[in-house]
């Protein structure tokens, strides 16, 4: 085998190694995001917060942007965790339901191999036995980062509310409330974009171009914006 053939073979091996690494990274991100959903299901806040980077940002509906892991603790434990999943400790109390089904994942790893983006859909069932029950739904846009330890974590998370309606009325009869910033637990930044949920129609920007046409008509240009 001559030198040219050897080099061509080495180049092909390198390409295949990169493809395998990319596939492994995507699968790791899929597991990470699904784990997030399962921990959120049961209000296992400490387990869930371990999945975030120290410099993370989290934005849920119209609550504003919470910067850093300590502020993520405030958002999940003190704000969201005092709702249907309220508890002084991790975990749900008797008669509480907080299901978050994370589905339809599309993940793309950046060329640098250490950053990635994902879009997911969340379907929620939230209830307190004998008191209330609501449906909720909307997409996530998430940025991920691989640490120096080789582990992927959530760096930026944005949940866009489509609807949040009472179970007995559903989305056929009830409008989704607009929501807004909570003054007693203020975010670090105001909501990054304003939109009206159901029955209004809003298309959260996609992190990717159309995979067939290449159109970026509904795609965001800045990958760091989620």
Tens of pLDDT, residue by residue over 91-130, are 899 999 999 999 999 999 999 999 999 999 999 999 999 9
3-173 under CATH 3.10.450.50, yes or no: yes
The reply to whether omega before 199 is within 30° of 0 (cis) is: yes
Query: Is the sign of the CA dihedral 79, 80, 85, 87 positive or negative?
Result: negative
Bridge partner residues of 126 (DSSP): 98, 134
Q: What is the rounded average pLDDT of the residues 35-63? A: 96
Mean pLDDT of 188-207: 95
H helices present in 57-100, as ranges: 69-73
Residue 82 DSSP class: G
Domain definitions of the chain by residue range:
3-173
Residue 175: pLDDT band with limits 50, 70, 90: very high
Percent of the chain with pLDDT over 90: 79
Query: What contacts 107, CB < 8 A, 6 or more positions away?
Result: 26, 29, 30, 116, 117, 118
First to last CA, the chain: 50
**pLDDT at position 218, please?**
93
What is the spatial distance between Cα 125 and Cα 137, in angstroms, rounded to a whole number? 9
pLDDT band (50, 70, 90) for residue 224 = confident
pLDDT of residue 222: 79
- From residue 209, alpha-carbon distances to 79, 92, 106, 113, 146 in Å are 35, 39, 12, 19, 23
Q: Label residue 6 by pLDDT band (50, 70, 90).
A: low
- Residue whose token pair is 């092909």: 12
pLDDT in the model for residue 31: 98
pLDDT band of residue 12 (cuts 50, 70, 90) is: confident
Q: Is the entire prediction scored with pTM above 0.95?
A: no
Residue 117: predicted pLDDT: 97
Q: What is the model's pLDDT at position 27?
A: 98
pLDDT class of 1 with cuts at 50, 70, 90: low
Q: pLDDT grade, residue 35 (50/70/90)?
A: very high
In this structure, the strands spanning 152-159 and 52-60 are parallel
Q: Are 33 and 118 in contact (CB under 8 A)?
A: yes
């Amino acid at each position: 085998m001559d030198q040219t053939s050897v080099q061509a073979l080495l180049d092909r091996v390198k390409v295949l190694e990169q493809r395998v690494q990319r596939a492994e990274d995507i699968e790791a991100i899929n597991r990470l995001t699904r784990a997030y959903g399962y921990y959120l299901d049961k209000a296992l806040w400490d387990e869930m917060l371990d999945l975030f980077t120290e410099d993370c940002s989290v934005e849920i509906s119209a609550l504003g942007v919470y910067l850093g892991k300590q502020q993520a603790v405030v958002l999940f434990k003190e704000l969201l965790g005092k709702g249907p999943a309220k508890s002084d400790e991790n975990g749900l109390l008797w008669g509480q339901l907080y299901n978050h089904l994370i589905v339809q994942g599309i993940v793309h790893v950046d060329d640098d191999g250490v950053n990635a983006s994902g879009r997911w859909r969340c379907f929620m069932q939230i209830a307190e036995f004998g008191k209330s029950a609501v449906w909720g739904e909307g997409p996530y846009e998430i940025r991920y980062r691989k640490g120096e330890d080789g582990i992927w974590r959530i760096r930026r998370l944005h949940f866009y509310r489509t609807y949040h309606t009472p179970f007995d009325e559903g989305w056929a009869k009830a409008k989704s409330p607009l929501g807004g910033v909570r003054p007693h637990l203020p975010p670090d930044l105001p909501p990054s974009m304003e939109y009206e949920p159901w029955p209004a129609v809003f298309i959260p920007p996609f992190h990717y171009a159309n995979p067939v046409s290449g159109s970026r008509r509904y795609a965001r240009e800045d990958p760091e914006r989620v």
